[in-house]
Amino acid sequence: MAEEIKRYNVNITATAKKDLREIISYISRNNPQNFLEILERIEARIKTPDHFPNRGSYVPELLIKNIKEYRQITESPWRIIYRVDKDIVTVLLIIDSRRNIQDILTQRLIK
C-alpha cells in the first residue's frame, strides 16, 4: 500500500495577487497574444508547492542574511516567493527576476 503524500494548502496574499495582476496587465499591453498562456503558466507554478513545499530553494538575497523562512520557485523570469507554516504555503510575492530583487525584498519582507 502506497504511503499518502501530505498535501499543503496554498494561499496567495493580496500583495501577490496584485503582483500577478500587474504582470499580466503589462504583458497584455506588450504581448497580447501570449498573456493568457503566461498567466496559466504562473498560476500552475503557484500550485506546485502543495505537495513538496520545501523543494523550493531558499531566496539567495535573504540567505546571505541567514534568513531561511522564505523559499522560492521560478517560472522564468518570475520568482514566486513563499513561506511554509505547518500545512499552509503562503505565496507572498511574484516578482520579475530582472528587477532589483534586494530592494523589493527589503521593502516587503524585512520590516
Residue 60 located in a structural domain: yes
Q: Are strands 88-96 and 78-85 parallel, antiparallel or unpaired?
A: antiparallel
| pLDDT given at position 32 | 83
Q: Alpha-carbon distance 40 to 27, whole Å?
A: 13
Q: What is the pLDDT of residues 59-99, one digit of tens each?
A: 998 898 898 999 999 999 999 999 999 899 999 999 988 88
Domain with residue 62: its CATH number is 3.30.2310.20
Domain of 81, in residue numbers: 9-108
Instruction: State mean pLDDT over 4-13.
Output: 88
Residue 91 located in a structural domain: yes
- pTM (2 decimals)? 0.87
Residue 1 located in a structural domain: no
Work out how many domains the chain is built from and give that number.
Answer: 1
| pLDDT given at position 21 | 95
**Residue tagged 541567514 (cell numbers):** 66
pLDDT band at 2 (very low <50, low <70, confident <90, very high): low
Burial of 105 (0-12, 13-18, 19+ CB in 10 A): buried
Q: Alpha-carbon distance 6 to 53, whole Å?
A: 10
